[in-house]
């Protein structure tokens, strides 16, 4: 972002809040594409742990996954509660946090269940193979890379997300 604002480069990949900050400094800047528009099936949110961590810290991981799902849902349902936390934890100016949150909510970026449905996982794996991050013919199966036991337990307590907006892929 600093190089873009200083006119040292004419394009940059930015997060929404960076775009908003940059546009405040250089009003003629504009987004030419957004990842969720050009790659709607891309997987955006993954947490990875070792098998040892799963074995050693299962209850903590369970609480983390459940808390993450609750937080994602809250992004859609309780803006007034979420915004002060975003401002506090990111240090963003409130107006920037508001605009960024509104943009992300409007475009259904947060998954209200677990975000690891086969459609997005498989599409992302195939993209990684196509660009060379995964060797051709070596894409692991969905079942080999996704552990849903924590999400399933959390959703048993919370129930499946049905809105008020942005329905998500069932698993």
Closest C-alpha among 68, 37, 39, 42 to residue 153:
68
Q: Half-sphere exposure of 59 toward its Cβ, with a 13 Å CA cutoff?
A: 0
Q: What does pTM read for this prediction?
A: 0.83
CB environment 29-62: b (16+ within 10 A), e (fewer): beeeeeeeeeeeeebeeeeeeeeeeeeeeeeebb
Query: Rounded CA gap, 86 and 99, in Å?
Result: 12
| pLDDT at residue 129, rounded to an integer | 96
| pLDDT at residue 60, rounded to an integer | 97
The residues of the chain scoring below 70 in pLDDT are 167-171
| pLDDT at residue 161, rounded to an integer | 86
| pLDDT at residue 169, rounded to an integer | 61
| pLDDT at residue 117, rounded to an integer | 85
Q: Is the dihedral of CA 135, 141, 147, 148 positive or negative?
A: positive
| pLDDT at residue 52, rounded to an integer | 95
- For the segment 3-26, what is each residue's pLDDT rounded down to a tens digit? 999 999 999 999 999 999 999 999
């Amino acid at each position: 972002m600093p190089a873009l604002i200083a006119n040292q480069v004419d394009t940059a990949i930015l997060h929404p809040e960076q775009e908003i900050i940059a546009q405040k400094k250089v009003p003629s800047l504009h987004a030419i594409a957004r990842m969720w528009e050009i790659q709607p099936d891309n997987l955006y949110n993954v947490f990875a742990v070792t098998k040892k961590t799963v074995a050693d810290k299962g209850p903590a991981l369970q609480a983390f996954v459940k808390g993450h799902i609750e937080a994602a849902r809250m992004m859609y349902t309780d803006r007034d509660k979420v915004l002060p936390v975003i401002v506090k934890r990111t240090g963003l100016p409130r107006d920037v946090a508001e605009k960024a949150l509104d943009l992300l909510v409007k475009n259904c970026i947060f998954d209200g269940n677990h975000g690891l449905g086969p459609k997005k996982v498989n599409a992302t794996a195939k993209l990684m193979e196509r660009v060379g991050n995964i060797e051709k013919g070596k894409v692991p199966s969905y079942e080999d890379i996704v552990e849903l036991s924590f999400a399933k337990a959390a959703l048993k307590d919370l129930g499946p997300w049905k809105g008020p907006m942005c329905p998500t892929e069932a698993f």
